[in-house]
Amino acid sequence: MDVFTGKRQVRMMRRVTFIWILFFLIGLQLYAQRISNVRFEPFGRAIRIHYTLSRLPFDSFAALNLFVSTNGGESFIGPLVQVQGEIGKVAGNGEKSVVWQVMDEIGRLEGQIVFELRGEVVKEKQKAENILMYNVSGSSCFGLMYGRVARWGGYVRGKTNFSFDNAPYTCDNSGIFSYEGENDFYIVDKASKRSRLGITGGVLFRPAGCLYLYAGAGYGYRRLMWHAETFDYLSEQRTGDLWAINTSNSADGVEAELGGIFRYKKLAVSLGVNTVGFSFFEVNGAIGLFF
């Protein structure tokens, strides 16, 4: 007699679930505690098994097979084929479920029943993606970063404030160096201007699904220029003006940077720090898209 017919289906399934099934064993040839929170329930003529998959790397999947024993785990039947759901190639962490059509595969289920999940972690080759980001910082209002990355990759970045001015004189906070005026003097006023340019390139690395790290170097400068008016010694009449680069607050040479890019679906948000000549430091922010 088919034990899964009519009203006896529920009663006999409960008997299988709560009396004949003495324990439920999860054996997974992965890292410890990859499978947890295991539970099962009657599901019509089948058994539905729930489990939680965790700590699976973003660039890997779990290749799982389901086995069953009717003698307390001394020997197993499988891998079972009448299964549907999250079995076989399983990607991503979280709650999973498998439905086993027990009556279609082995008929009656009697004895000391043990289920076992066997599998391995398989690393997938990551597909390379492009990333384009708009960059801003305290000294530059415009910047672009382009990169291409799978697990590893590279990028180039340019930034500027669209001011490329230079000055014939240099100064510090105490005055102008080597001023050439013989018959006049100067007075530094409050006017100033800044020039910024940076061109860098480097390495991208993806340690986790939502996180990328970058580090790079190149050439850059940040110039702070002070304005001064010149006056004749005798008449004290204004004779002209000049600009001088403040060397105490300017830098020119090797530019280095590092930071992180945080990903949500196709959206990318970046935060990092860079230096020019290890004398000028600033924070960078960027937003962009993966494509």
- For 148-172, the DSSP string reads EESSEEEEEEEEE-S-----SEEEE
Q: Compute how many other C-beta atoms are within 10 angstroms of the C-beta atom of residue 204.
A: 20
State pTM to two decimals.
0.69
Give backbone dihedrals phi and psi of 74, rounded to 5 degrees, phi first.
Answer: -70, -35
Q: Compute how many other C-beta atoms are within 10 angstroms of the C-beta atom of residue 92.
A: 12
Quick check: 24 and 114 in contact, CB under 8 A?
yes
* Beta strand ranges found along 46-179 (DSSP E): 46-53, 60-69, 83-85, 88-90, 94-100, 114-123, 129-137, 142-149, 152-160, 169-172, 175-176
Q: What integer pLDDT is reported at residue 73 of this predicted model?
A: 85
Answer whether the bond into residue 79 is a cis peptide, omega within 30°: yes
Quick check: 206 and 212 in contact, CB under 8 A?
yes
Task: Please state, in angstroms and rounded to a whole number, the distance separating the CA atoms of residues 61 and 56.
Answer: 7
Task: Please state, in angstroms and rounded to a whole number, the distance separating the CA atoms of residues 246 and 139.
Answer: 15
Q: Compute how many other C-beta atoms are within 10 angstroms of the C-beta atom of residue 93.
A: 16
Q: Compute how many other C-beta atoms are within 10 angstroms of the C-beta atom of residue 2.
A: 12
Tokens of 189: 């006023």
Q: What integer pLDDT is reported at residue 26 of this predicted model?
A: 43
Q: What integer pLDDT is reported at residue 14 of this predicted model?
A: 41
Q: What integer pLDDT is reported at residue 20 of this predicted model?
A: 40
CATH 2.160.20 fits 8-123, yes or no: no
Task: Please state, in angstroms and rounded to a whole number, the distance separating the CA atoms of residues 22 and 79.
Answer: 21
Task: Please state, in angstroms and rounded to a whole number, the distance separating the CA atoms of residues 184 and 169.
Answer: 16
Exposed (0-12), middle (13-18) or buried (19+): which is 77, by Cβ within 10 Å?
Answer: exposed
Q: What integer pLDDT is reported at residue 41 of this predicted model?
A: 83
Vertex 275 angle, CA 135 and 279, to 5°: 145
Quick check: 12 and 21 in contact, CB under 8 A?
no
Q: What integer pLDDT is reported at residue 18 of this predicted model?
A: 38
Task: Please state, in angstroms and rounded to a whole number, the distance separating the CA atoms of residues 243 and 222.
Answer: 15
Per-residue pLDDT of the chain (291 residues; tens, 9 = 90+): 232 222 233 333 444 443 344 444 444 444 444 877 877 788 888 989 888 898 888 888 999 999 888 888 899 988 999 999 999 999 889 999 999 999 999 887 788 878 888 888 898 888 999 999 999 998 999 999 999 999 999 999 999 999 998 998 999 988 888 787 778 899 998 899 999 999 999 999 999 889 999 999 999 999 999 999 999 988 889 999 999 999 999 999 999 999 999 999 999 999 999 999 999 999 999 999 999
Quick check: 262 and 269 in contact, CB under 8 A?
yes
The strand order across the sheet containing 46-53 reads 35-43, 46-53, 94-100, 83-85
Q: What integer pLDDT is reported at residue 120 of this predicted model?
A: 87
Parse the chain into domains and list their residue ranges: 8-123, 129-290
Task: Please state, in angstroms and rounded to a whole number, the distance separating the CA atoms of residues 186 and 226.
Answer: 12
Identical topology for domains 8-123 and 129-290:
no
CATH 2.40.160 fits 129-290, yes or no: yes
